[in-house]
Amino acid sequence: MKITEKEVRHVADLANLKLTEAEVARFQADLDGILQHMDRLNEIDTSGVEPMAQVLLGADPGATLRADEAVLPLGNLAALANAPQPGGGYFKVPQVIER
Amino acid sequence: MKIPPLTIDGVREGLLSRQFSATELAGEALRFAEGENATTGAYLHFSPERALAAARQVDDKIARGEEPGPLAGVTVAVKDVIVTKGIRTTCGSKLLAHFIPPYDATAVERIEQAGGILMGKTNCDEFAMGSSNENSAFGPVRNPVATDRVPGGSSGGSAAAVAQGTAVVALGSDTGGSIRQPASFCGVVGVTPTYGRVSRYGLTAFASSLDHIGPLARSVKDSATLLGVIAGHDPRDATSAAAPVPDYAAELTGDVKGLKLGLPREYLKDLTSETGRLILKGVDTLKSLGCEVREISLPATDYAIASYYIIATAEASSNLARYDGVRYTFRSGSSETLSDMYRNTRGEAFGAECKRRIMLGTYVLSAGYYDAYYLKAQKVRGLIARDFANAFQQVDAIVAPVSPFPAFKLGEKVDDPLAMYLSDIFTITGSLAGIPCMSVPCGKTAEGLPVGMQILTRHFDESTMFRLADAFERTQTR
């Protein structure tokens, strides 16, 4: 087995994702099968290969930088327009520090 | 007024010869699309006010004798992961069901500057994660060719809208095949340009090193015209490329004599199906047009799915972290503390496939697994890119299938996520390399289901890709 239900719960914690018991069982089975497939990566020799983090490595690093000039931001009202709970120009959230 | 499915050129002719006005065309298109939508569910919502306002501008320009733009009066459907100012953008997710973006994506802005008419927003898999459009929180899309089948995904709504004629062209997004595969399933043209060719400003991020915006259309020429409008550097997207944009549509000469085409040996071994026979028939057609065909090898192909689903989910787990109940409309109503609010919001709002990918991505990035999975996957990605670079020293273009099979039935594959991932094999390799690739219709199965042929070329060589696809399209009877 590649992953246990305990590990699924740990990963869900890391991802800030509340899962039901049924989801934990389902994802344990799904991820186990997927990770077994991923294991085939061990078959291929990648010694001396650079990890590819982006596509256009050949481009001049400064080619697409814009001029360093201040531009107007979106603005407070627009940024808050979709907030579930705006207030006083801020995003309001529940209590942060747990007693 | 009854309007047949038009091309971009057809719309232009009709407008300039005063057969119809842009306003009449947009009004009729909206009525037709709203009726057709009952069958396919291709659109999540329409944008009639914005469409008619844009159409009036086109009519005014024509009345004043001004050039109305390369997309004048052309109806465009936009995938609902691409933001539109003041028009709801849901990403197919319950989480963003009421999200009204405060700005337009660059691609949308450029379409409207060119005279295009925004019809509405198309359905898709939640946050573009899926290959069947069954992962939308607002229900699946049905394939207009056979309504008991999926349209493909994740840009299923855009492909269906173009296929049923409710828009002349559409925008989709592609991370591992999400434009090409639905184009193939619905019998239309779908283009994934070079990584960086089209600005992603305003595209909701899924996997940033792989995400593209690209066109869907009923003809190669229309897809080339639309790409010409949306391509080019954008200072608001640091990953958009500075490379000059050719006039793609003007380059469609029909002459492909002497072009060298590669058929990847690793893809051919599975080509015994009906899909395979149609692809090989397509290759024969290209030969008869004067192309030279040779077998090539892309040895790392077998490792592409594993590499892709590690990199894409890792990036997705980071990108989707922003949906935490603070900024984007949906918040779970039952949380005492901030951390509970995060967990409950995400647990209640994300669908199963998004959760699965967030979990997988978080796992491969977590302590102890980073080197074994994420770093290894990036190295394999380097090998896949190298395979293509080597191949393009011998050939000008690569011809391949898009999907191993045509459109399948709704519900047929939902219970086996790995099988669904594995079916992305032919589209994922090009995505990992970041090269331009497209699907062009190459016939139908005995059951009448469309099959797409994929053409892949070197970075920034969309011109050769379009020229080949167009020459091929001219041989096909519609």
Once rounded to an integer, what is the mean pLDDT over residues A28-57? 92
> Would the CA dihedral through B392, B276, B186, B40 be positive or negative?
negative
* pLDDT above 90 for B54: yes
Of the partner residues A16, A74, A78, the one whose CB lies closest to the CB of residue B346 = A16
Q: What value does the mean pLDDT of chain B take? A: 96
Do the beta carbons of residue B242 and residue B194 sit within 8 Å?
A: no
Provide the terminal-to-terminal Cα distance of chain B, rounded to the nearest Å: 24
pLDDT tens-digit map of B170-199: 999 999 999 999 999 999 999 999 999 999
Identify the pLDDT of residue A60.
67
Q: Is the peptide bond before B131 cis (omega within 30 degrees of 0)?
A: no
Of the partner residues A11, A40, A82, the one whose CB lies closest to the CB of residue B99 = A82
Of the partner residues A34, A81, A95, the one whose CB lies closest to the CB of residue B336 = A95
Which residues in chain B have Cβ-Cβ distances shorter than 8 Å to A67?
235
**Domain that includes residue B175, residue range:** 8-251
With bands split at pLDDT 50, 70 and 90, how would you rate the model's confidence at A89? very high
With bands split at pLDDT 50, 70 and 90, how would you rate the model's confidence at B5? confident
In-domain check, residue B348: no
Identify the pLDDT of residue B403.
96
Identify the pLDDT of residue A57.
60
- Closest approach of chain A CAs to the CA of B130, in angstroms? 15
* Three-class DSSP labels, chain A: CCCCHHHHHHHHHHCCCCCCHHHHHHHHHHHHHHHHHHHHHHHCCCCCCCCCCCCCCCCCCCCCCCCCCCCCCCCHHHHHCCCCCEECCEECCCECCCC
* pLDDT above 90 for B367: no
Q: Looking at the 3D structure of chain B, how many domains does it have?
A: 1
pLDDT tens-digit map of B416-439: 999 999 999 999 999 999 999 999
Identify the pLDDT of residue B271.
72
Q: What value does the mean pLDDT of chain A take? A: 90
Do the beta carbons of residue B106 and residue B202 sit within 8 Å?
A: yes
pLDDT tens-digit map of B60-112: 999 999 999 999 999 999 999 999 999 999 999 999 999 999 999 999 999 99
More confident residue, A74 or B326: B326
With bands split at pLDDT 50, 70 and 90, how would you rate the model's confidence at B2? low
CA separation for the pair A55, A57 (Å, rounded): 6
Give φ, ψ of B214 to 5 degrees: -155, 165
CA separation for the pair B225, B110 (Å, rounded): 12
Q: Could you state, in order of their start, the residue ranges of all structural domains in chain A?
A: 1-43
CA separation for the pair B309, B432 (Å, rounded): 11
* pLDDT above 70 for A63: no
Once rounded to an integer, what is the mean pLDDT over residues A10-34? 97
CA separation for the pair B188, B450 (Å, rounded): 9
CA separation for the pair B448, B399 (Å, rounded): 23
Which residues in chain B have Cβ-Cβ distances shorter than 8 Å to A3?
363
Exposure on the CB side of residue A61, measured as CA atoms within 13 A: 0
Q: Return the percent helix, strand and coil in chain B, to nearest 5.
A: 45, 15, 40
Do the Cβ atoms of A19 and B355 come within 8 Å?
yes
Q: Name which of B190, B241, B242 is nearest B216 in CA terms.
A: B190
A63 interfaces chain B, CB cutoff of 8 Å: yes
Identify the pLDDT of residue B268.
82
Identify the pLDDT of residue A58.
65
Exposure on the CB side of residue B283, measured as CA atoms within 13 A: 23
In-domain check, residue B424: no
Identify the pLDDT of residue B104.
98
* pLDDT above 60 for B453: yes
Query: Is the ipTM, as predicted for this complex, more than 0.90?
Result: yes
Query: Residues of A numbered 68-97 whose beta carbons fall under 8 angstroms of chain B's beta carbons: which are they?
Result: 74, 78-79, 81-85, 91, 93-96
CA separation for the pair B429, B23 (Å, rounded): 43
pLDDT tens-digit map of B254-288: 999 999 999 999 998 767 799 999 999 999 999 99
Do the Cβ atoms of B379 and A50 come within 8 Å?
yes
Residue B46 sits in a domain of what CATH number?
Answer: 3.90.1300.10
* pLDDT above 80 for A56: no
Identify the pLDDT of residue B201.
98
- Write the CATH number of the domain with boundaries A1-43: 1.10.20.60
With bands split at pLDDT 50, 70 and 90, how would you rate the model's confidence at B20? very high
Identify the pLDDT of residue B359.
98
Identify the pLDDT of residue B15.
97
- Closest approach of chain B CAs to the CA of A5, in angstroms? 12
* pLDDT above 60 for B1: no
pTM above 0.80, yes or no: yes
